[in-house]
């Protein structure tokens, strides 16, 4: 894998020693290295922010058969990220493929760069699958590791990493166009916090493009960045019930859409007679809301399977034909949207 960050060879060149000497220092093998050389190499490592895989990348090439699945989305709610239905399904796909290929899974959420660096230094991981990466401190840390990485749903630049993503812009466009073609013009957009070069920004861009293509003015007051906990979304539904200036909502996650629906219904709002809703992901929860949720479909389990397969194929020296895989989306019609043109 091409490395944009510092490597052992780079450190060796700057220190004026061999890569083997640098590796010996990294792995605390000082028998044949002078104290002055050890000090010089360790200083370069610290200055460059190099992150060695302390165990797996030693000269003897010991493999652990352990793949780390790391969540770098800073938790804003109590509980583990695997409690999120999206991640539960995604991890199911990852684990199924790893098990089939003889590998094991380790799950971890990291809250800051130091925790990520510590994890990569300490554990004997053959590779990692990482969610929630933007151009931030986590990204910089990953650039300086030799461990093979697959990024999930990330729009960061560069070709160091393998990537698995989605047609996020198209998904946002399809959801909004669907509502527009059902006669809706005042459409709210609800999502978690939107970060630059992220999937939610792409879905918002799709929403805006659909409005533009149909000659509908964009209104900033129609955009809600909100917490994802069910209780928070129910409360948002209650608040939205007091607004009378919209007829539809596009929500970028099914679990959030379900919470908003619950809050609206609690306040006496009829769905879809008074408010129409489209979600995103097509998780099982969309089948048990009342009414059942119209949503943008993505195959979350397949996303996990492909990520695991790409990483293992790379580790086993197989040819990777596509370093970036983008999965398709489509709309799934159910009962949560009303065609107001018919009335």
Residue 263 tokens, joined: 């809050």
- 17-31, 259-273, 329-343: which has the highest mean pLDDT? 259-273
Q: Is 28 left (phi over 0), alpha (psi -120 to 50) or beta?
A: left
Q: Can you give the chain as a three-state secondary structure string?
A: CCCCCCCHHHHHHHHCCCHHHHHHHHCCCCCCCCHHHHHHHHHHHHHHCCECCCCCCCCCCCCCCEEEEEECCCCCCCCCHHHCHHHHHHHHHHHHHHHHCCCEEEEEECCCHHHHHHHHHHCCCCEEEEECCCCCHHHHHHHCECCCEEEECCCCCCCCCEEEEECHHHHHHHHHHHHHHCCCCCEEEEECCCCCCCHHHHHHHHHHHHHHHCCCCCCHHHEEECCCCHHHHHHHHHHHCCCCCCCEEEECCHHHHHHHHHHHHHCCCCCCCCCEEEEEECCHHHHCCCCCCEEEECCHHHHHHHHHHHHHHHHCCCCCCCCEEEECCEEECCCCCCCHHHC
Interval 195-249: pLDDT, tens: 888 999 999 999 999 999 999 999 999 999 998 889 999 999 999 999 999 999 9
Question: Which band of pLDDT confidence, cut at 50, 70 and 90, is reported for residue 3?
Answer: very low
Q: Is residue 3 part of a domain?
A: no
Q: Contact 325/163 with Cβ under 8 angstroms?
A: yes
Q: How many domains does the chain divide into?
A: 3
Q: What is the pLDDT of residue 60?
A: 43
CATH of the domain at 105: 3.40.50.2300
Q: How far apart are CA 72 and CA 58, in angstroms?
A: 26
Residue 23 lies in a domain: yes
pLDDT at position 96 over 50: yes
Considering only CA atoms, which of 196, 184, 216 is closest in space to residue 156?
Answer: 196
Report the pLDDT value the prediction gives residue 121, as an integer from 0 to 100: 77
Residues 289 and 207 in one domain: yes
Comparing 101-105, 106-110, 112-116, 205-209, which segment has the lowest mean pLDDT? 112-116
Q: Return the minimum-mean-pLDDT range out of 49-63, 96-110, 173-187, 258-272.
A: 49-63
pLDDT digits (tens, 9 = 90+) for 163-187: 999 999 999 999 999 999 999 999 9
Residue 54 is predicted with a pLDDT of 46
The confidence score (pLDDT) of residue 205 equals: 98
Query: Does residue 172 share a domain with residue 273?
Result: yes
Residues 274 and 152 in one domain: no
Q: Per-residue pLDDT tens for 27-82? A: 677 778 899 999 999 898 888 877 765 444 443 445 778 899 988 765 444 445 66
154 in the same domain as 184: no
How far is C-alpha 328 from the geometric centre of its chain's CA atoms? 16
What's the pTM value of the predicted model, to 2 decimals? 0.79
Q: Of 186, 215, 190, whose CA–CA distance to 204 is shortest?
A: 190
pLDDT given for residue 118 in this prediction: 82
The closest alpha carbon to 52, from 96, 8, 5, 102, belongs to: 8
Say yes or no to pLDDT of 152 above 80: yes
Q: How far is CA 310 from CA 4, 30, 67, 68, 157, in A?
A: 20, 37, 12, 14, 19
Residue 142 lies inside a defined structural domain of this protein: yes
Given a cut of 70, whether residue 87 has pLDDT beyond it is: yes
Same structural domain for residues 294 and 199?
yes
pLDDT at 112: 80
Count of other CB atoms within 10 angstroms of residue 157: 9
- Which pLDDT value is given to residue 310? 95
The predicted structure's pLDDT at residue 1? 37
pLDDT of residue 108: 86
Kindly state whether residues 72 and 134 are assigned to the same domain: yes
Please check whether residue 57 lies inside any domain of the structure.
no
Whether residues 279 and 319 share a domain: the answer is no
Residue 16 in any domain: the answer is yes
pLDDT of 190 over the 80 cut: yes
234 and 248 together in one domain: yes
Alpha carbon 239 to its chain centroid, in Å, reads 29
Q: Are residues 262 and 291 in the same domain?
A: yes
Average pLDDT, the chain: 88
Please report which confidence band the pLDDT of residue 128 belongs to, taking 50, 70 and 90 as the band edges: very high
162, 306: one domain: yes
Q: Tell whether 53 is covered by a domain.
A: no
Q: How far apart are CA 163 and CA 160, in angstroms?
A: 10
Report the residue count for the chain: 343
61: in domain: no
- The boundaries of the domain holding residue 75 are 66-166+301-327
Instruction: Round the CA-based radius of gyration of the chain to a whole number and report it.
Output: 24
User: Do 252 and 108 share a domain, yes or no?
Assistant: no
Residues 248 and 306 in one domain: no
Q: Rounded to whole angstroms, how far apart are CA atoms 130 and 142?
A: 10
Whether residue 115 is contained in a domain is answered as: yes
């Amino acid at each position: 894998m091409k490395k944009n960050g510092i490597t052992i060879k780079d450190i060796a060149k700057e220190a004026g020693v061999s890569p083997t000497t640098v590796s010996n220092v990294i792995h605390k093998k000082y028998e044949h290295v002078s104290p002055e050389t050890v000090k010089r190499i360790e200083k370069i490592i610290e200055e460059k922010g190099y992150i060695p895989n302390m165990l797996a990348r030693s000269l003897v090439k010991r493999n652990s058969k352990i793949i780390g699945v790391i969540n770098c989305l800073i938790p804003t709610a109590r509980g583990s990220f695997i409690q999120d239905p999206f991640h539960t399904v995604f991890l199911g796909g990852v684990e199924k493929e790893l098990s089939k290929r003889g590998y094991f899974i380790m799950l971890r959420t990291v809250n800051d760069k130091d925790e990520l660096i510590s994890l990569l230094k300490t554990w004997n991981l053959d590779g990692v699958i990482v969610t929630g990466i933007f151009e931030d401190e986590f990204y910089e840390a990953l650039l300086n590791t030799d461990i093979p990485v697959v990024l999930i749903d990330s729009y960061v630049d560069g070709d160091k990493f393998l990537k698995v993503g989605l047609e996020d812009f198209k998904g946002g466009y399809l959801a909004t166009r669907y509502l527009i073609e059902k006669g809706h013009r005042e459409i709210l957009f609800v999502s978690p916090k939107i970060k630059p070069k992220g999937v939610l920004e792409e879905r918002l861009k799709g929403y805006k493009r659909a409005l533009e293509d149909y000659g509908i003015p964009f209104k900033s007051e129609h955009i809600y960045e909100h917490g994802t906990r069910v209780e928070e979304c129910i409360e948002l539904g209650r608040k939205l019930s007091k607004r009378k200036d919209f007829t539809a909502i596009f929500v970028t996650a099914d679990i959030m859409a379900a919470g908003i629906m619950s809050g609206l219904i609690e306040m006496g709002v009829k769905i879809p007679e008074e408010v129409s809703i489209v979600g995103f992901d097509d998780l099982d929860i969309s089948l048990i809301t009342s009414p059942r949720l119209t949503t943008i479909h993505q195959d979350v389990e397949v996303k996990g399977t492909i990520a695991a397969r790409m990483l293992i194929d790379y580790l086993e020296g197989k040819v990777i034909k596509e370093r970036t895989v983008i999965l398709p989306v489509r709309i799934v019609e159910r009962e949560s949207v009303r065609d107001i043109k018919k009335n």
